[in-house]
Each structure stands twice: as structure tokens, then as C-alpha cells.
Structure 1
């Protein structure tokens, strides 16, 4: 399997949160059972607890960093077999696999070209710690359909005191396959401004690699 786990701890944390949240919600959609979701969630709790300690200057000590590294290694040892199991399960749709952040097995045939359009996102509903977004293709005047060959939308986000302008400084937030979609926030982010960018993902392109389209314009709103 091509590399799919982000290297940076902050990106890995976002990836893992999305992975465990989707599987916990409906494990059978991924060919798993409730016990599998429990095992994954247990590793998430251990990892996230150790990771959060290293984010506070007062507690970012050498032992804390070492404990975080051990927690990540333990988490990856659980994640990878489940990811391989889901990826190789032909009964699980490509859109669900992409939604988990997995690399899709390349198939023979003509590669799908990279997307040239982007998803325009808008805030549909704001509730405590949850923002519901809708998106529509930049070339469409109505409907929710994605362009041909696109199986998901990659969302990245910044959270700060004012709207951001550069998607390159944003962190991975989610990979979604349906509109509307929900984004969840931390209590510490309430009152801050979230800025979201989105781009389409294809199933595979030349060399079997997922291809990404251009970023959308930013969408900003206040987290409640």
C-alpha cells in the first residue's frame, strides 16, 4: 500500500480522528464489527491523550515526547492491518475507502484525468462544536454531483482569530464523499474563525496514484 499515514503528528492526529470516527459510526460499512471499532477507538484515546500533553509548553518534556512516540507506534500497529483489510475488501466502495483516507488499489484501464474544477463550499448550519457544510461543483448551476472520476472531496482547515488566505498552511480536516457533510471542532476552538478549502480527489491516475484538483476559494465562519 502506498503511504497514506501523514508524517506530521498534527496531520496524523486529524487523519486518525477521521478514521476512527467513521468506523465507530458504522463499522459494518467497512466490513468490520463493533469489536474492531472498540480496538481502534482505544488506540485513538491513548494516542490523543499522549499527543495533547506535548502541545502544552509546560508539559512538553522529553519523557512526554517519548510517550507520545510510543503511543503513535502502537496506534499505527493497529491501524495498518485494519486499513489493509478495508482497502482489500471489494465489498467496500472506493468512496468509503477514500473517505477513510486510504490509497485505492490501482486498476487497469485508462487513467482518470486530474480534476479541473473545484467544490464550492458554504456553511449550511452551525451548532455547538459542529459545522454542517454543503458543496457544489464550480461548473454546476445546481445539484450535488461530483465530476466524472472524482470519488471524494479533501477538506483542509485553519482555525484562528481571522480568516486565512493560504490553503498551504491549513491542516487536513476531513475527506468527505457526500454533501452536506459535518465538521467537528474542539471546545478550545469555540469563538475562533475557521477557514475551509476543498478539492476533488480521483480514484487513481497515472501510476495508480490518487489525483487532486485545484483548491476552492476559502470559506470562513465562526465556530460556536
Structure 2
């Protein structure tokens, strides 16, 4: 059941004023005496001082916050141009910038070659087509490439015997997202597609080869 006394102060102010006024005007009908109302009237007097003081304090706080916000915005507006000068000044060291508490530009280090290898699986559902899927050997349950790799280099050999080494391979593509779809000529039907993969960095540095994957090309 809802409380008969309103929660918001403004609503309570109107309610209590009506309550006390009506009760004092109808003491006999309500079975009350002035003594019954004395503590209520005393508490009302305290409230009558406290509530307006609170309203005034809230209004003052809002005004003070507005003044504070405007002062901060003006303060920051003159700080930022000075900081931009300091950050661009060659004579200001990173240590001095750190002491000032301003941003110190980070110099990126070399990425380096990938250190892990891709794992390739081949799907052969369609005629003269294979779907190559790849994941990283360090995170085989995730699709994400390893850090520092832009994509995977795909090399292959189509024939009846596996490649003896890199010299037997043909470059296919660099693929940035699995899967990669390979299409074949009709003359390749029934032959085996041998696939080698390795990760490559944005600067062209290559990681180690993954395990060879192979599958017969559906004719």
C-alpha cells in the first residue's frame, strides 16, 4: 500500500500544510486538542525553516556548479594550446613531459616476423573447387590471426607427388581472412592439391611454414 505521506519534498510541503491547517480548524470534530497538535506544530515550525533553506542551497549549488564548469572550460582552453607547443618542442624531453603529466608519444617498435604457423584444412565439396580454412597453431579454436600478421601466404602444387621443397611450389595468394576458395582447371580433376601456408607481417616478414595439407581435386 502506498504511503499517504508524499516522497518528494515539494509534494510533502503542500500535504503537511493542508494537514496541519485542517486539523487545527477541526479539533473538536476530530477528537483532538491543542495539546495533541502542539508537537506537530513545533515540528512544522522547524520544517518551515529547513525546507526553504534547502531549496536555496540547492539553487546555490547549481549556480556554483555552472560557474565551476565554465571556469574549468576556460582554464582547459588556455592549457591545451600551451601543451601542444610543449609536445612539438624538440627541446622538451619525454621525461619532462612525463613530469608535467602530459601525453608522451609512444614510438612503435619493429613488429618482427610471425613466430607461429597456420594450420590448414581443406574442404572438397564442389567439383574443381576446394575451400581452404586456416587458424593459428597457437590458438586453433579461434579464427584470429596471430599478432603482427596481416594474412597468410598460400602456396600449392597440383600433381601426383608431393613437393620436395619450396622450389616445387606455386604462389597462390595472400589471404587476410579464412576461408580461401581455390578453383582448378578441368585438367586438374583427380589430381592432388598440396598446400603450404605461412603467416606474413605488414612489412613482408614471413613466419615458419605450417604442416602440409592435401586433398584430391574433385573432377
TM-score where L is the length of structure 1: 0.47
TM-score where L is the length of structure 2: 0.48
Which structure would you say has the larger Rg? 2
Pick 1 or 2: higher relative contact order, CA cutoff 8 A, min separation 6: 1
